[in-house]
Amino acid sequence: MQNNGSRTFDNNYTTKVIAEATLRENIIDAIGKTPLVRLTIGGHDTSVYGKLELLNPFGMKDRVAKRAILEARRTGVLRPDAPIIESSSGTMALGVALVGTYLGHEVHIVTDPRMDAITKAKLEALGCHLHIVERMTSHGWQSARLERLAQLMEQYPGAFWPRQYENPDNPLAYVELANELLADLEHIDVLVGPVGSGGSLCGTARELRKYLPNLRVVAVDAVGSAIFGQPDRPTRLQSGLGNSLIPPNVDPSVIDEVHWLSDEEAFAATLQLARHEKIFAGNSSGSAYVVARWYAHTAPAGTKIVALFPDRGDRYVETIYSAEYRRQKGVQALRLPDTPTEVSYGTPVESWTYAHLPRNAE
Ligand SMILES: Cc1ncc(COP(=O)(O)O)c(C=O)c1O
């Protein structure tokens, strides 16, 4: 047994033979069944697991695109020759491009100038049409994109819009993820996940609660996001999580607690996730990681915590992972406190803070 800092590793380890088929009939079938990895953090017999949604063909939203598009085809809402149009700057765009173009649909993605070169290259390589809005409107980039999307829907009658912010197939796509977690772990005490449309955390939590009624559900958001009653700040640097609008797929009734991290804290968290756990991921995974880590240090012995890690780090090489970018944005100090501050829901926040959702407030 070799001891490498906090890690122990058996030198006589041989790859486990897992008697489970890995062959998939097509790329759509390669979506889901992502690895669940025990992290090195924990203590007092507490265990923390990362659900590596970033190991889907493109990312977590492959699941949503699969469910929404297959359902729309099954019910006839999407005809085999009709185009698909969606607004996204990242993972949802990739999922829709993957599933939509694979099934022979024309795919239009509406996005904004914040889209990184790697995502753009992937979308173009898959053969989708990109529409990039030039300026923010009343509710930031989000409303500008939705306005352009409405124009495209007029231009392409019969087009299907997956509507990730309100389509019930978004949260329903995570029933499978919940079942994967239940198959891997007999019990889960705490589920931590970033929130953008709300689909992944709320969909997973709703399904898990059927079997684990005492599950604690912890949302992770960005300072400057409007989802949980904060003033909107569209200039925030974090992507994936956060929103300038409140999406209908956010179901506060299944969420117990919300944490907000500043850009600087989220960047520091993402770098720590790579450094300590060897998981090269985006900022939403980084934020979920440090919230899960804090829980692990404060929870009673035996607590099992799962954190959702939505996307890989490759699209952030010019931002989060660039020292020059961090310096330009004034976040090079990478300050991240060990402990968040508790506030009452509705208090405006600037750095790592958490609040209980109103129905749970004392
Ligand atoms: C990288 C990343 N993390 C987190 C989220 C939030 O997930 P959800 O939309 O399911 O709330 C998204 C959503 O697009 C994302 O792209």
**Tens of pLDDT, residues 308-360:** 999 999 999 999 999 999 999 999 999 999 999 999 999 999 999 999 999 74
Cα(54)–Cα(39) distance, rounded to whole angstroms? 15
- The mean pLDDT of 104-132, rounded to a whole number, is 95
- Nearest atom of ligand 1 to the alpha carbon of 250: 11
| Cα–ligand 1 centroid distance for 237 (angstroms) | 15
* pLDDT surpassing 90 at residue 13: no
Q: Whose CA is nearest to atom 15 of ligand 1?
A: 240
CATH class label, 62-155: alpha beta
Query: Cβ < 6 Å from ligand 1: which residues?
Result: 61, 90-92, 194-201, 240-241, 282, 284, 310-311
For the ranges 13-27, 43-57, 109-123, 125-139, the lowest mean pLDDT is seen at: 13-27
Q: How confident is the model at residue 362 (pLDDT cuts 50, 70, 90)?
A: very low
What is residue 18's predicted lDDT score, i.e. its pLDDT?
59
- How crowded is the C-beta side of 219, counted as CA atoms within 13 Å? 30
Cα(191)–Cα(171) distance, rounded to whole angstroms? 15
Rg (alpha carbons) of the chain, rounded to whole number: 20
Mutate to test the pocket of ligand 1, among 52, 91, 112 (most ligand atoms within 8 A of CB): 91
- Nearest atom of ligand 1 to the alpha carbon of 199: 10
182 Cα distance to chain centroid: 20
Query: Which pairing describes strands 129-132 and 216-222: parallel, antiparallel, or unpaired?
Result: unpaired
The sheet carrying 190-194 orders its strands as 36-43, 46-52, 304-309, 190-194, 216-222, 257-261, 353-356, 341-342
What is residue 114's predicted lDDT score, i.e. its pLDDT?
84
For the beta carbon of residue 152, count every other beta carbon within 10 angstroms. 18
- The mean pLDDT of 248-259, rounded to a whole number, is 97
Query: Are 171 and 198 contacting, i.e. CB atoms less than 8 angstroms apart?
Result: yes
- The mean pLDDT of 186-215, rounded to a whole number, is 97
What is residue 138's predicted lDDT score, i.e. its pLDDT?
87
CATH 3.40.50.1100 residue ranges for the chain: 2-57+174-360, 62-155
Cα(46)–Cα(6) distance, rounded to whole angstroms? 15
Tell me which residue of 320, 101, 308, 115 sits closest to 217, measured CA to CA. Answer: 308
- Nearest atom of ligand 1 to the alpha carbon of 195: 11
What is residue 331's predicted lDDT score, i.e. its pLDDT?
96
Mutate to test the pocket of ligand 1, among 200, 258, 314 (most ligand atoms within 8 A of CB): 200
**Tens of pLDDT, residues 37-89:** 999 986 668 999 999 999 999 999 999 999 999 999 999 999 999 999 998 87
Q: Whose CA is nearest to atom 9 of ligand 1?
A: 197
DSSP H or E segment with residue 283: helix 283-298
| Cα–ligand 1 centroid distance for 241 (angstroms) | 5
Query: Are 179 and 165 contacting, i.e. CB atoms less than 8 angstroms apart?
Result: no
CATH class label, 2-57+174-360: alpha beta
Mutate to test the pocket of ligand 1, among 67, 221, 241 (most ligand atoms within 8 A of CB): 241
